[in-house]
Structure 1
């Protein structure tokens, strides 16, 4: 009997979003997605600290955020655009096969991102292949380069591939993902007062509270309770909750974003 290739089958295998994402991670040979912190919040000293992440949250565009994260994940160190068939993009983004026109949904998603100066899209007339080139995460329209962390504008957070590999992308909603990125942006054990969120990030206090509670319930972050002296308050103190990512969600420092897994 002839040996059978385990990757071959007598019927076509089911193509899933999870399989597409895992194949992408294997191809880029990294263990995390580096994202400039200015995607979540603008640099200190800016008149407004709001950053591109705000638009995804207030417009409730989870599909757009998934598409952007996958585009960041796909970046090749040679700087070339990521070119995939529209059906493969739809799978990566998580557009259901039951969608009436997946290709149109992909195009509209990328057009939304392009309008916010986060990437550029090229698609030859009549072609089903779409090439996507990243722009800088702060929405400035400047060309993208892998962040190095040498200055405040170059500092980056790390979203580990394990977040997708363990299936948490399917469990977390948009407020949860927003706050996961926000916690990842900060140093360990930071508090996130909900009433400050509209000024600091551009989304509501309710979004902050719901997002933090969800990622705490999912075990993506840990929380500790401390107290701050407030002599003129009713109790004389204020209860403060501080958050940190669990160990596996915070990859070890010092690793080059382009280093092989």
Structure 2
């Protein structure tokens, strides 16, 4: 991305964060990463996005969730604004890309799109992707802090890094997350999860402790488990938030 597009992106995101009037972050139900169907865990819509390579749709979805901060949980912005926030500029290519992303998100059952005064009105639906109306979350949910956007993580993390961050945010500190279960639990490949976890570690956002386990019912008997903890601003593993803008 060239310097001019990046500057426009940062200024647009800063304006959207301010307009959202949010104070502490965006609440997202755990259903977005994994939900329960007939009492069995099922990968959420996040996995569909990652598996289909829809990283741009994920970015747009999270931006929409940032701005749709109160009932009736809708947003209405010119396509040029969304395109700038995605780092695409405001020309026809950017606007067409935004339209395609809304179409994909509508197909995932995460939003409802209407045309009002020649502008798209986007309404949030339930994170489970079943087309249910959105309500303020209760029960199992996490908050994606505003620093995700204001400290530059939204534009710098890879799709795998963002997926790992969202999954980790839905879990308690010290969580066990074997890469071999990535597809069954979250609908993403083991490689994507491994790459994402290592990316977060490289930025100092994630650390792990190793537990040695004995299981005489297995061929190897002794094996190791990694227990991960997110660090500020995304978790409580450290006191000092990390800003990519400050680190670069």
TM-score by length of 2: 0.85
Q: Distance in 2 between matches of 1:57 and 1:78?
A: 29
- Separation in 2, partners of 1:45, 1:194: 25
1:19 corresponds to which residue?
11
CA distance in 2, matches of 1:42, 1:89: 29
Contact (CA 8 Å) 1:160, 1:250: kept in 2 or not? no
In the alignment of these two chains, the number of paired residues is: 231
Residue of structure 2 equivalent to 1:193: 178
> Residue 242 of structure 2 corresponds to which residue in structure 1?
none
| Match in the other structure for 1:84 | 77
Q: In the superposition, relative to structure 1, how do residues 76 and 158 fare at CA in structure 2: closer, same or farther (>3 Å)?
A: closer
The answer as to 2:102 corresponding to 1:117 is no
Distance 2:51 2:233 in 1: 29
Give the CA deviation at 1:91.
1.7
Distance 1:107 1:25, change over 3 A: same
After superposition, the CA RMSD in angstroms is: 2.2
Alpha carbons 2:50, 2:160 under 8 Å: kept: yes
Gapped runs of 5+ residues in structure 2? 1-5, 237-248
Confirm whether residue 169 of structure 1 aligns to residue 154 of structure 2: yes
Q: Please say which structure displays the higher CA radius of gyration.
A: 1
1:142 corresponds, among 132, 135, 151, to 132
Aligned partner (choices 225, 229, 234) of residue 244 of structure 1: 229
CA distance in 2, matches of 1:132, 1:98: 19
* 1:29-56 superposed Cα distances (whole Å, 9 cap, x missing partner): 2221111100000127544511111111
SS at match of 2:208: strand
Q: Which moved more, 1:139-148 or 1:226-235?
A: 226-235
Task: Tell me the distance in 2 between the aligned counterparts of 1:191 and 1:70.
Answer: 29
C-alpha separation between the residues in 2 aligned to 1:144 and 1:219?
34
Instruction: Classify 1:45/1:187 alpha carbon distance in 2 versus 1 (closer, same or farther; 3 Å).
Output: farther
Does the CA contact (< 8 Å) of 1:158 and 1:250 recur in 2?
no
C-alpha distance in structure 2 between counterparts of 1:84 and 1:236, whole Å: 58
How far residue 232 of structure 1 moved from its aligned partner, in angstroms, is 5.0
Question: What residue number does 1:62 align with?
Answer: 55
Following the alignment from structure 1 to structure 2, what is the Cα–Cα distance between the partners of residues 15 and 243? 34
